[in-house]
Amino acid sequence: METQTRIEPLNVVRVPLFDEAIGGENLEFFGGKTLPRLEWTHVYLGSWSADDRRSLDAAVPAAMRDTRLNRVIKQYFPKQRITSVFRGARNGPMPSSLMDKDAVESIVRSLALAGLAALLLPHGVVLSDGDVTSEHGLGGYHGSVDGHYYAVAVYSEGTNGIVAFDEPWKNVCATLYHELEEARTDPDVEDAIRTGESKYLGWYSPRGGEIGDIPIATSPLHEVMREVPLADGSGTVPVQLMWSNKDEAPAAS
């Protein structure tokens, strides 16, 4: 390792246990890659309702392009323009009832998409990352394999995933927003975890993890996962608030 930074595998969205919640610490830039231009594709695995797909295909791009939410993100891209390009949606294969990281990354390899592959798990599928599963608070994670970036999100409802809203698709939207913004600001965290070398990190907090991790660890869920008004006046969008160094707190603008 180039520094004494302890790299924890925090490229996930999950509800922390009360005795493991960590105090917030502002993000630091470690010199690794960032993605001012982020392109992604929604990949719907298994069976999805047309209404849920339509809602997500509208809400996620709206959140990623929102000028008010992007005021928070812009502070990590000084003198750079941030752009979000939704490349559309496609069907993916039928997942197994339990999807571990190997299974997720196998699909990512087979797709070999340009940009980031956003894998959306259907109702009832359990996601695991090591010893943590979506039945115990895991909502999703992001990473990379063989040069391909990806994010994966659970269909959060009942006891599976992270439930913060009145409809499951809204939980998925907030989780995917979390993962996409982390992929934008710290895309190669997986390489840092694998090698133990901090040179691969983009924006990262030695204590709090990534831009979406600190709010989850330091604030009640209902305060950071909420529907916010879009700047263009077209309605609201369900998101998880990201960490703002400027405010030293989660922020919506």
Question: What's the confidence (pLDDT) of residue 208?
Answer: 82
- So what's the pLDDT on residue 13? 53
CA distance 115 to 40: 5
pLDDT in tens, the chain (253 residues): 222 334 444 455 554 443 444 445 899 999 999 999 999 999 999 999 999 999 999 999 999 999 999 999 999 999 999 999 999 999 999 999 999 999 999 999 999 999 999 999 999 999 999 999 999 999 999 999 999 999 999 999 999 999 999 999 999 999 999 999 999 999 999 999 999 999 999 999 988 899 999 999 889 999 999 999 999 999 999 999 999 999 999 999 9
Query: For the chain, what's the residue count?
Result: 253
DSSP-assigned beta bridge partners for residue 236: 229
pLDDT of residue 86: 98
Read off the amino acid at residue 22: I
Query: Following DSSP, what letter does each residue of 160-172 receive, concatenated?
Result: BS---SSSHHHHH
Q: Are 180 and 13 in contact (CB under 8 A)?
A: no
Q: Which of 13, 8, 63, 10 is nearest to 38 (CA)?
A: 63
Q: Which run of H or E residues covers position 217?
A: helix 213-218
* pLDDT for res 207: 86
DSSP H helices, 44-198, are 50-65, 69-74, 101-111, 168-185, 189-195
Q: How many angstroms from the chain centroid is the CA of residue 70?
A: 15
Dist CA 227 CA 55 (whole Å) = 14
